[in-house]
Amino acid sequence: MKPLKRPVRRGLLVAHVAVSVSWLGLTVGLLALGISAFTTGDPATVGAATRAMKIFGDWLVVPVALLALVTGLVLALGTPWGLARHRWVWTKFWLTLITTGLSIFSLRPGIDAAAAEGAVDINLVVAPSVATGTYLFITAISILKPWGLTRRGRRLRFSASSAKSVDARSPRQTA
C-alpha cells in the first residue's frame, strides 16, 4: 500500500483514536449496566439495564468495533509502522481482531438473550470487564510502543540498511 499523505494520515489517526476511545467508553458503560443489573434485586432496574445494554449492543458495538479495526489496519498499512514490523502493532492488531469477533459473536448474543429473559448472568459482567482490561492494555502499548521489531521488521530494516550502505559506497548517484 502506498504511504498515506500527511493530512490523510493525521485525519485517520484522529478518527482511529476517537473510535477507539469510544469503544473503551462503550465497554465501560456496558460494564456499569451489567453490574447494576446483576447485583440489584429490583426487576425494574434489571429491565432498564438490559434494555439499555441492548440499545448499545444493537446500535454501537458492531460499528464502533469494526471502525476501530479498519482505521487501525489502514493506519498500519499506510504508515512506516507497518502491520507486522513492530510487535506492539502486531499485538494490537490481533487483540483488536479477537475482541471485535467476540463483541459481534458473543457479547451481542448474550445481551440479546439477557434482554429477552429480563435477567443478567455473570457473563455480562465478565465480558465487559475483560474487554475493558484489553482495551486499556491496547491503549498502553499504543503509547509506550514496547518490544521492538518483529523478525520481519528486523529483516526489512537490515535489507534497507544494506541497500543504503551499498549506495553510500557507490561512486554513482542513486535515485
Q: pTM, whole model, 2 decimals?
A: 0.86
Q: Which residue has the higher pLDDT, 16 or 171?
A: 16
Separation in Å, CA 114 to CA 80, 106, 127, 130: 44, 12, 13, 19
What is the predicted pLDDT for the residue at 175? 45
Amino acid at 72: G
Q: What single DSSP character describes residue 172?
A: S
Is the confidence at residue 103, as pLDDT, over 70? yes
Q: What are phi and psi of 67, to 5 degrees?
A: -65, -40
Is the confidence at residue 86, as pLDDT, over 70? yes
Q: Is residue 150 very low, low, confident or very high in pLDDT (cuts 50, 70, 90)?
A: confident
Is the confidence at residue 165, as pLDDT, over 70? no
